[in-house]
Amino acid sequence: MSTDNTASGQGRSDRHLVLWDVDHTLVRIGGGVSRAIYAQAFESVTGRPLNALADMSGRTERAITVDTLRLNGIDEPEVRFAAFYSALATAAEQQADRIREFGIVLPGAREALDSCAAHNIVQSAATGNIRPIAMTKLTTLAVGADLDFSVGGYGDDGSDRADLVRQARKRAAEKYGHDFAGTRTVVVGDTPHDVRGARDADALAVAVASGNSTAEELRQAGADIVLTSLRDFPVHCGEALGW
């Protein structure tokens, strides 16, 4: 994505910001890769094997890290954040072959990203992953070339998904010269956590039933638009994005 302010439309009042969740929204990575990343990072930081891993579904890396360290008897987990995040990033890079082997790009994901790029929409991530892990997953699976990772919201920005959205909006405003207020920020995710984070940040919540949550559960969480898969994104979200 261009960093030139004129080319990227700085100052335009009609710009939209689309923030994508990563896991179970754009990609799915099986094979125990996520646990392997945490196990490697945990042993690197503590010198001990990982015995228990906290629930990861829809949660941020910060929240998962706190609970995982506590589950394994580590007191004052906050003092280990910097070392643990660095170890997670390294572990993800070293697991790239397994990500490639066990990962898939979900149906419609590439087309949805392409449709936004074709309409000059700023795209980034609002994901529980820390930035290096999000980038490793998406680049390894050759998806996300149109995402501007420098303006996203990531799992080390807080434990509340709304904080990720607010941080991404702030970063995008500083770079692109537009505040992306209200529903000019669109959050796309697959869990009620994503939906509530979007709503609490006054963004438009687009939910896709491509993870463990049903379409009805996503509606009940308050999603503005619910999709069966990202194949439906261009048709159902075009009006909201001003196409």
What pLDDT, in 10s, does the model give residues 163-195? 999 999 999 999 999 989 999 999 999 999 999
Q: What is the pLDDT of residues 11-44, one digit of tens each?
A: 444 689 999 999 999 999 999 999 999 999 999 9
Rounded mean pLDDT of the chain? Answer: 92
DSSP state at residue 106:
P
Supply the pLDDT for residue 242.
80
**Burial label, 185 (beta-carbon count in 10 A; 0-12, 13-18, 19+):** buried
Q: What's the rounded Cα separation, in Å, for the pair 34 and 24? A: 13
- The pTM score is 0.90
Tokens representing residue 9 in the block:
């439309």
Supply the pLDDT for residue 75.
87
Q: What's the rounded Cα separation, in Å, for the pair 219 and 6? A: 39
